[in-house]
């Protein structure tokens, strides 16, 4: 519908999808913040209910102002042939309704066989799978990084607003920039914008990798045993064994089970509640007060946990535990700057992909191929399971590997720009 609001061949489509994308991200910016506030006062059930009410509001908005977009519905346009015969004919032939200024671009596109245009879109879909695999780490490993490894006093969930806020900040300057280039006849083609977007995505993860590398090489001091935070996961367990901690001790620590099957060390809270300081994937902090002890058991608590499975082993290996399991913390600047770069990449790739489908897909198959774009998104989302290596590799290694994947696909996209432009003339 967004694409149908503009004539075929119009360069305005790219900018229209940028603005459309910005609208989506108004909600994306507000949602994590609202969720945290509602959850803090009323719990998770109320937080989910707020999301449901938000969707009700969105349906009301569409219903109330549907007259503004009714003309973009192909079926509606075709059914009003008496009122808009030119529009109906144009829609059926991929020609621009009312306007003729973009007729040349539309004719160029129509001259390319449908099969060639569809194949070009499928190639784009295959490439953007890697983008979504990398970009959607923001819902998992980047959130862990924000929560565990940055010096700020809010939850990692709030970090999910950073990307959306950058979209709100950057969209209009970017739209202005594309218009500025277009007026001078220098606006890049949509596939070229996407190639730059993939490049920026790779560079953003290099920023995060450099931030993680900085933290991993911070000097650790003995007083951090009492004040720092620690994690035991597969990578840390291997490092502890390599440092000389008994494999049997680590095996016992990692295999401690609660009845629900979670990997835990169990302590009794003073109130009689069962505290579950989860070892695999959850922090150990030195805090011992009851309010925080439920979810964390402490740097000293980690020592005590090791002593529990192997008496004396924790005390004997305090320094090794500090070096292997301490959670570094770096400035939030790395996270915020990394998000800024990846957001620029996203704005040059994600809404551009939607625009590209709208411009290239044959009218009769436009809905189907728009669905193909979201199939590629879904596959990329599935492949975000590469995040399992977060607990195995160093954080810096993980980010750099993803950066290399994105940069490799950027190179591929740049190399095939020429044949893509032949299959997609005028975009």
For residue range 121-170, what is the model confidence (pLDDT) as tens digits?
888 899 999 999 999 998 889 988 988 888 887 777 788 889 999 999 99
Q: What is the pLDDT of residue 142?
A: 93
Query: Using CA atoms, how far apart are residues 234 and 191, in angstroms rounded to an integer?
Result: 41
Q: What is the pLDDT of residue 287?
A: 41
Tell me which of 201 and 12 has the higher pLDDT.
201
Give the Å distances, CA to CA, from 63 to 30, 72, 215, 270, 349: 22, 15, 50, 55, 30
Q: What is the pLDDT of residue 291?
A: 28
pLDDT above 90 covers a percentage of the chain that reads 25
CA angle 426, 117, 74 (to 5 degrees): 85
Using pLDDT thresholds of 50, 70 and 90, give the confidence band for residue 300.
Answer: low
pLDDT of residue 402 exceeding 90, the answer is yes
Using pLDDT thresholds of 50, 70 and 90, give the confidence band for residue 111.
Answer: confident
**Residue 421: CB atoms within 10 Å:** 16
Domain boundary among 264, 297, 325: 325
Mean pLDDT, range 105-112, rounded to an integer: 68
Tell me which of 9 and 266 has the higher pLDDT.
9
Using pLDDT thresholds of 50, 70 and 90, give the confidence band for residue 305.
Answer: confident
Tell me which of 382 and 171 has the higher pLDDT.
382
Q: What is the pLDDT of residue 243?
A: 81
Domain boundary among 293, 325, 357: 325
Q: What is the pLDDT of residue 165?
A: 92
Q: Is 35 helix (H, G, I), strand (E, B) or coil?
A: helix
pLDDT of residue 171 exceeding 70, the answer is yes
Domain boundary among 325, 359, 392: 325
Query: Using CA atoms, how far apart are residues 121 and 180, in angstroms rounded to an integer?
Result: 27
Mean pLDDT, range 47-55, rounded to an integer: 89
Q: Are residues 230 and 157 in the same domain?
A: no
Q: Are residues 117 and 63 in the same domain?
A: yes
**Residue 412: CB atoms within 10 Å:** 15
**Residue 70: CB atoms within 10 Å:** 12
Q: Are residues 262 and 367 in the same domain?
A: no
Lowest mean pLDDT among 25-39, 70-84, 274-288: 274-288
Mean pLDDT, range 255-282, rounded to an integer: 41
pLDDT of residue 257 exceeding 50, the answer is no
pLDDT of residue 75 exceeding 70, the answer is no
Tell me which of 70 and 107 has the higher pLDDT.
70
Q: Are residues 345 and 303 in the same domain?
A: no
Q: Are residues 315 and 383 in the same domain?
A: no
CATH code of the domain covering residue 129: 1.20.1250.20
8 Å CB contact between 282 and 225: no
pLDDT of residue 403 exceeding 90, the answer is yes
Q: What is the pLDDT of residue 104?
A: 60
The one-character DSSP state at 249 is H
pTM value? 0.75
pLDDT above 70 covers a percentage of the chain that reads 79
Q: Are residues 333 and 320 in the same domain?
A: no
Q: What is the pLDDT of residue 392?
A: 83
Using pLDDT thresholds of 50, 70 and 90, give the confidence band for residue 279.
Answer: very low
Per-residue pLDDT tens digits for 361-401 = 887 788 888 899 899 999 999 999 999 898 888 899 999 99
Domain with 295, as residue range(s), is 224-325
Q: What is the pLDDT of residue 282?
A: 41
Q: What is the mean pLDDT of the chain?
A: 78
Q: Are residues 293 and 345 in the same domain?
A: no
**Selection from 209, 202, 48, 239 nearest residue 142 by Cα:** 209
Give the Å distances, CA to CA, from 78 to 72, 85, 88, 337, 361: 11, 8, 5, 48, 19
Give the Å distances, CA to CA, from 13 to 68, 189, 259: 17, 12, 56
Tell me which of 269 and 194 has the higher pLDDT.
194
Q: What is the pLDDT of residue 96?
A: 39
Most confident of 6-15, 136-145, 198-207, 276-285: 198-207
Taken in order 94, 100, 101, 103, is the CA torsion positive or negative? positive
Mean pLDDT, range 341-356, rounded to an integer: 87
Q: Are residues 261 and 409 in the same domain?
A: no
8 Å CB contact between 34 and 120: no
The number of residues in the chain equals 427
Q: Are residues 155 and 298 in the same domain?
A: no
Q: Are residues 62 and 203 in the same domain?
A: yes
pLDDT of residue 408 exceeding 70, the answer is yes
The CA dihedral of 175, 177, 182, 186, to the nearest 10 degrees, is -140
Q: Are residues 230 and 164 in the same domain?
A: no
pLDDT of residue 83 exceeding 50, the answer is no
Q: What is the pLDDT of residue 299?
A: 58
Q: How many structural domains are present in the chain?
A: 2
Query: Using CA atoms, how far apart are residues 304 and 320, in angstroms rounded to an integer?
Result: 15
Q: Are residues 243 and 106 in the same domain?
A: no
Using pLDDT thresholds of 50, 70 and 90, give the confidence band for residue 56.
Answer: very high
Using pLDDT thresholds of 50, 70 and 90, give the confidence band for residue 103.
Answer: low
**Selection from 347, 385, 333, 405 nearest residue 137 by Cα:** 385
pLDDT of residue 302 exceeding 80, the answer is no
């Amino acid at each position: 519908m967004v694409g149908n609001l503009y004539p075929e061949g119009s360069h305005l489509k790219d900018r229209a999808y940028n603005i459309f994308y910005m609208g989506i991200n108004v909600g994306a910016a507000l949602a994590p913040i609202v969720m945290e506030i509602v959850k803090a006062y009323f719990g998770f059930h109320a937080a989910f209910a707020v999301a449901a009410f938000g969707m009700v509001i969105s349906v009301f908005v569409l219903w109330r102002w549907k007259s503004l977009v009714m003309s973009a519905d192909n079926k509606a346009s075709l059914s009003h042939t008496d009122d808009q015969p030119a529009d109906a004919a144009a829609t059926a032939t991929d020609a621009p309704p009312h306007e003729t200024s973009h007729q040349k671009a539309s004719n160029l596109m129509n001259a390319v066989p449908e099969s060639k245009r569809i194949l070009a879109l499928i190639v784009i879909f295959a490439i953007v799978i890697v983008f979504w695999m990398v970009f959607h780490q923001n819902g998992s490993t980047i959130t862990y990084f924000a929560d565990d490894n940055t010096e700020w006093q809010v939850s990692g969930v709030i970090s999910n607003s950073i990307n959306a806020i950058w979209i709100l900040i950057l969209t209009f300057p970017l739209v202005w920039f594309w218009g500025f280039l277009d007026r001078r006849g220098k606006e890049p083609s949509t596939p070229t914008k996407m190639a730059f977007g993939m490049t920026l995505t790779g560079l953003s993860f290099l920023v995060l990798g450099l931030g993680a590398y900085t933290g991993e090489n911070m000097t650790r001091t003995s007083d951090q045993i009492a004040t720092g935070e620690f994690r035991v996961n597969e990578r840390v367990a291997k490092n502890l064994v390599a440092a000389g901690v008994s494999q049997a001790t680590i095996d016992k620590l990692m295999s401690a089970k609660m009845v629900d099957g979670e990997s835990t060390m169990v302590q009794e809270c003073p109130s009689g509640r069962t505290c579950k300081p989860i070892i695999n994937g959850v922090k150990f902090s030195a805090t011992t007060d009851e309010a925080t002890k439920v979810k964390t058991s402490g740097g000293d608590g980690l020592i005590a946990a090791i002593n529990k499975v192997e008496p004396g082993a924790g005390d004997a290996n305090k320094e090794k535990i500090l070096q292997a399991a301490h959670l570094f913390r770096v400035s939030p600047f790395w996270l915020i700057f990394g998000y800024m770069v990846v957001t620029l990449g996203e704005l040059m790739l994600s809404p551009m992909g939607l625009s590209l489908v709208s411009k290239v897909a044959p009218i009769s198959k436009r809905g189907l191929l728009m669905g193909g774009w979201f199939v590629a998104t879904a596959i990329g989302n599935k492949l975000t399971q590469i995040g399992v290596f977060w607990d195995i590799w160093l954080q810096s290694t993980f980010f750099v590997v993803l950066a290399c994947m994105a940069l490799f696909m950027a190179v591929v996209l740049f190399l095939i720009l020429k044949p893509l432009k032949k299959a997609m003339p005028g975009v």
